């Protein structure tokens, strides 16, 4: 997931309130830099800031530069070395170097472009913000960056002057079946950056006592999946072993853009599943999208280890690994 938690939205809010605003973005790193490429800091003209570009190492210097950039109405490309001592203070073993692009909203980053970016993020549309540091051109693109979208990889293009910031929707995990594996999988997935939802119409399974603090939908799986929506940043995992529950969700999933679909069950169980889906009119290519038996073959034993195998396979598919 991109490291941009609400920063563009805050920048637009502040600018709409009549404040001078600059966005600072990590565009390149070497060594053990505290923040990844794409991390952002928003700075207002009164010095208020939100976000981070270095975990606290160079924020003060970036704010000073941003305030000067606001006065001048020009972008700045900054470079900082993070010492070993400073890196250790933010939990790293050694230091590194970062480059930070500072862009005042208005004169450099047009307000209409920022508004469009925020709207696309709200609509869960993957979008790339492209900044040409040589010409000053700024634009949004939805095509031509498939590998970057898949890897959440912001960075410079080979020309060394075109920076691409990837804004992907948050990852989601939709689990059908509030079973023991789901109890283990949800906290692991959340730690890995997924926002999980559990679907199960059986109240004895989908209870807050079994899944404290989690989002539970007790509707029939196909209706619940329709309500949640499945897009290219969503993984669908079916764990009920019950065709009456799994199949309706599968039918929705196989005609969606979900990046991962996994279904629990043995090879024999999956063969029966394939026969039912074929009879229902789904193509061989559609059915081949199902990862079954679900999870990587790591010799998993018990719900927690199966959950590990499922999460590992989800991430492997997301990142384009075989």
Using DSSP's 3-state secondary structure scheme, residue 318 falls into helix
> CB of 2 within 8 A of CB of 152?
yes
196 strand-pairing partners: 173
- Residue 92 has a pLDDT of 44
pLDDT in tens, the chain (322 residues): 444 558 999 999 999 999 999 999 999 987 766 678 999 999 999 999 999 888 667 888 999 999 999 999 999 999 987 665 655 554 444 567 889 999 999 999 999 999 999 999 999 899 999 999 999 999 999 999 988 998 889 999 999 999 999 999 989 999 999 999 999 999 999 999 899 999 999 999 999 999 999 999 999 999 999 999 999 899 999 999 899 999 999 999 999 999 999 999 999 999 999 999 999 999 999 999 999 999 999 999 999 999 999 999 999 999 888 6
Angle, nearest 10°, between helix axes 243-253 and 267-279? 60
Are the C-beta atoms of 102 and 24 separated by less than 8 Å? Answer: yes
The span from the CA of 138 to the CA of 128, in Å, is: 11
Beta strand 234-238 with 260-263 is parallel
**Domain end residue (candidates: 134, 149, 167):** 167
pLDDT for the residue 319: 86
Q: What residue numbers bound the domain in which 265 lies?
A: 171-318
Question: Residue 90's pLDDT is what?
Answer: 46
Q: Within a domain: residue 133?
A: yes
- Give the three-class secondary structure for 90: coil
Looking up residue 181, the CATH number of its domain turns out to be: 3.40.50.720
Containing 26, the helix (H) or strand (E) segment is strand 21-31
Show Cβ contacts of residue 269 under 8 Å, excluding neighbours closer than 6 positions: 241, 292
Hey, is 144 helix, strand or coil?
A: coil
CA-based end-to-end distance of the chain:
20
Classify the C-alpha dihedral 91-92-97-100 as positive or negative.
negative
- Give the Cα separation of 180 and 105 in Å (integer): 49
Q: Domain check: are 121 and 180 in the same one?
A: no
Domain boundary (141, 167, 193) is at 167
Q: Do 59 and 88 reside in the same domain of the chain?
A: yes
CB 130 within 8 A of CB 164: yes
113, 138, 167 - which closes a domain: 167
| pLDDT at residue 3 in the model | 46
270 found inside a domain: yes
Count of the separate structural domains present in the chain: 2
Nearest to 262 by CA among 301, 310, 224, 307: 310
For residues 301 and 296, give the distance between their C-alpha atoms in angstroms, rounded to a whole number: 12
Q: What is the pTM of this model?
A: 0.76
The answer to whether residues 184 and 289 belong to one domain is: yes
**One domain for residues 16 and 160:** yes
- Same-domain status, 41 and 139: yes
**Tens of pLDDT along 164-216?**
999 999 899 999 999 999 999 999 999 998 999 999 999 999 999 999 999 99
| Chain position carrying tokens 């119409």 | 201
| Helix (H), strand (E) counts: the chain | 11, 15
Does some domain include residue 2? Answer: no
In this structure, is residue 193 part of a structural domain?
A: yes
**163 and 302 assigned to the same domain:** no
- Helix 243-253 vs helix 221-228: angle between axes, to the nearest 10 degrees? 30
> Residue 25 has what pLDDT?
96
Q: Is residue 1 part of a domain?
A: no
Which residues, 6+ apart, have CB-to-CB distance to 197 below 8 Å? 172, 173, 174, 175, 214, 215, 216, 217, 228
Please report the DSSP string for 240-303 in residue order.
---HHHHHHHHHHHTTS--SEEEE---HHHHHHHHHHHHHTT--HHHHTTEESS-S--S---SH
Return the closest-CA partner of residue 187 out of 212, 152, 208: 212
Which residue, 9, 80, 82, is CA-closest to 42?
A: 9
308 is a domain residue: yes
């Amino acid at each position: 997931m991109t490291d941009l938690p609400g920063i563009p939205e805050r920048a637009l809010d502040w600018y709409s309130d009549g404040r001078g605003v600059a966005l600072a973005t990590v565009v390149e790193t070497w060594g053990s830099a505290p923040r990844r490429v794409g991390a952002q800091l928003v700075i207002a003209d009164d010095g208020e800031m939100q976000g981070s570009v270095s975990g606290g190492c160079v924020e003060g210097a970036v704010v000073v530069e941003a305030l000067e950039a606001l006065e001048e109405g020009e972008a700045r490309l900054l470079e900082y070395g993070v010492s070993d001592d400073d890196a250790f203070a933010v939990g790293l073993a050694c230091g590194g170097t970062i480059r930070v692009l500072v862009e005042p909203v208005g004169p450099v980053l047009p307000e209409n472009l920022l508004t469009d970016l925020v709207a696309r993020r709200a609509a869960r549309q993957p979008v790339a913000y492209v900044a040409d540091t040589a010409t000053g051109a700024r634009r949004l693109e939805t095509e031509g960056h498939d590998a970057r979208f898949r890897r959440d990889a912001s960075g410079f293009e080979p020309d060394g002057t075109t920076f691409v910031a990837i804004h992907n929707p948050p990852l989601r995990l939709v689990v059908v079946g509030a079973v023991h594996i789901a109890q283990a999988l949800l906290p692991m997935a959340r730690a890995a950056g997924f926002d999980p939802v559990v679907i199960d119409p059986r109240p004895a399974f989908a209870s807050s006592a079994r899944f404290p603090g989690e989002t539970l939908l007790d509707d029939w799986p196909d209706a619940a999946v329709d309500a949640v929506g499945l897009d290219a940043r969503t993984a669908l995992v079916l764990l009920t072993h019950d065709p009456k529950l799994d199949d309706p969700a599968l039918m929705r999933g196989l005609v969606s853009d979900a990046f991962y679909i996994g279904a629990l069950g043995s090879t024999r169980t999956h063969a029966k599943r394939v026969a039912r889906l074929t009879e229902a009119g789904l193509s061989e290519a559609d059915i081949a999208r199902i990862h079954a038996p679900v999870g990587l073959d790591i010799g998993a034993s018990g719900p927690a280890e199966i959950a590990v195998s499922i999460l590992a396979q989800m991430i492997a598919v997301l990142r384009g690994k075989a």
